[in-house]
Amino acid sequence: MTKIVTRFAPSPTGYIHIGNVRSAIYPYLLAAKNNGTFILRIEDTDQNRYVEGATELIMDTLKWLGLDWNEGPEKGGDHGPYFQTERKTSYIEYAKKLIAEGRAYADPTDSETIEKYRKEDEAKKVPYLYRNHRPTETPEWQEGIPIRFKADPKPRDWHDEVMGDLHAGPEVQDDIILIKKDGLPTYNFAHIIDDHLMGCTHVMRGVEYLPSTPNYLALYEALDIEMPKLVSLPHILAPSGNKKLGKRDGAKSVTEYRKDGILAETMLNYLACLGWNDGTEQEIYSKQELISKFSLDRIQNSGARYDETKLLWMNGQWIRKIFTEQGVDTLYNKTAGFWPTEAENYPESYRKEVLSIIYDRLKEFSELPSMTSYFFKDPAINTEMLTSNKFLKNLSEQEIARLLNTTFTALQNTEWTEEKIQETLNDLLAKTEKKPAELFSLIRIAVSYAPFSPALNLTLKVLGKDVSLARINATKNAFLNDLQ
């Protein structure tokens, strides 16, 4: 069995967004599953669209997701260089070979003339095909003149691993540009040479390349190159409408989700399963599970709409999974940079305690500041919040002050453990003859002034005895002052 070689071949024009990252994920998974090679190749032949730093951005995204490439920039490998601009000579070499064999030609036609041909065909309502305007006299090639393929239009049948058996007629095959005026190859030509030279067994890319596949087929044939397996990946659709998700539709960069506090595990899981599933009812997959279960034939052949709600749900699942399976330390290490600024004044151990009791309501780490602020900073007292609470509406201010006083006293003599605090709270319930809804809400709000918080005994435990008592006292005093 031949070794599987896949590649991700982005052009350095910006960040990787969620609409196109699957063409990195799937090749990675396929190679990893089969102990193959995953190559990162940078297709930088378009000088005009080149963006400084884009390659780094792309590598950063890949690293974050854990899609480690075996060959490519930073890694090297036996098939380098991995930037197309550095492979210029091989393209020229192959193009020259095609010219020598009469399968390509240097095209002296200037762009105005080409534009004229196009207009003429449009006016005549015939499809514009350059091969109908092929120049009769072609010069010897020299840099500065584009090289065109000499099409061999005929019906083409091929197999796509996702789309199945495909067919196209001669009307879509044309004299495509191989080498541009600037001496660099077009994508159409370069990727074929590179895939061949790099030994790629699978070419995975978006379905937008489907219409030009017949031209590639002709090129493989003319070059006498064994065709790799073709895998067309359907588009990810924008949340609304039916358009493919692109930067123009607000497709966020993959790493932007990292800033929001989405885990890499979630991102990989969600994106991989958008348009792929293993046929079971499993929803949560680790990278290892993805690798072992991945298969080309289970890639969906219709586009999938991107749904951020499910991503958020999945992130919650992953947060809980990591906490229960790998412990608070592992989860904590992923929260760096998300804590409220005041948290810096507290030891790591305290932040971990806080995380341990709030992690199960987290959906993304960006919620951390609003969810935990009262653990790090005394909340502003807001008596209105207490008196308007639906469980506390029937309590007079006097009663509130009295209840808080009783609580203060009881807690003062409590050993500060989860269990003991809970015992005290239960005793208080019996003594005051209040419903949990009343008493606990009261205490909870008095110490947090937050719309919600973890279980009361846990909140008090983590807050600490001194802080808890001080806050209860402060609220009690606020009501006493009110009464005076």
Scanning 75-83, 162-170, 255-263, 338-346 for contacts with RNA by CB under 7 A, the matching segment is: 162-170
Residue 310 CB, nearest distance to RNA (Å)? Answer: 4
**Per-residue x/- track, 425-454, RNA (CB under 7 A):** -x--x------xx--xx--x------xxxx
Binding of RNA at residue 298 (CB under 7 A)? yes
# of chain residues touching RNA (CB under 7 A): 87
Residue 264 CB, nearest distance to RNA (Å)? Answer: 19
Of 391 and 480, nearer to RNA (C-beta) is: 391
CA distance 274 to 177: 35
Scanning 25-33, 52-60, 183-191, 347-355 for contacts with RNA by CB under 7 A, the matching segment is: 183-191
| Longest distance between any two alpha carbons in the chain, whole Å | 105
Q: Which residues contact 365 (CB under 8 A, 6 or more apart)?
A: 260, 261, 262, 334, 335, 338
Q: Which residues contact 198 (CB under 8 A, 6 or more apart)?
A: 5, 7, 39, 41, 71, 79
Residues 114-153, interacting with RNA (CB under 7 A): 114, 118, 125, 127-128, 130, 146
Answer for which of 303, 351, 354, 404 binds RNA (CB under 7 A) is 303
CA distance 179 to 148: 7
Scanning 58-66, 90-98, 222-230, 316-324 for contacts with RNA by CB under 7 A, the matching segment is: 316-324
112, two tokens: 């105005």
Binding of RNA at residue 242 (CB under 7 A)? yes
**DSSP calls for 178-234:** EE-TTSPBPHHHHHHHHHHHTT-SEEEEEGGGGGGHHHHHHHHHHHT-PPPEEEEEP
Classified as helix, coil or strand, 276 is strand
| φ, ψ of residue 135 in degrees (nearest 5) | -65, 145
Of 180 and 480, nearer to RNA (C-beta) is: 180
Which of the residues 75, 97, 229, 247 is marked catalytic?
247
Q: Which of 27, 30, 22 is nearest to 41 (CA)?
A: 27
- Is residue 247 annotated as part of the catalytic site, yes or no? yes
Answer for which of 150, 180, 229, 402 binds RNA (CB under 7 A) is 180
CB 8 within 8 Å of CB 41? yes
**Per-residue x/- track, 335-354, RNA (CB under 7 A):** --------------------
Binding of RNA at residue 305 (CB under 7 A)? yes
Scanning 107-115, 260-268, 377-385, 461-469 for contacts with RNA by CB under 7 A, the matching segment is: 107-115
Binding of RNA at residue 410 (CB under 7 A)? no
Q: Which of 313, 397, 16, 22 is nearest to 6 (CA)?
A: 22
Instruction: Give the catalytic positions in this structure.
Output: 247
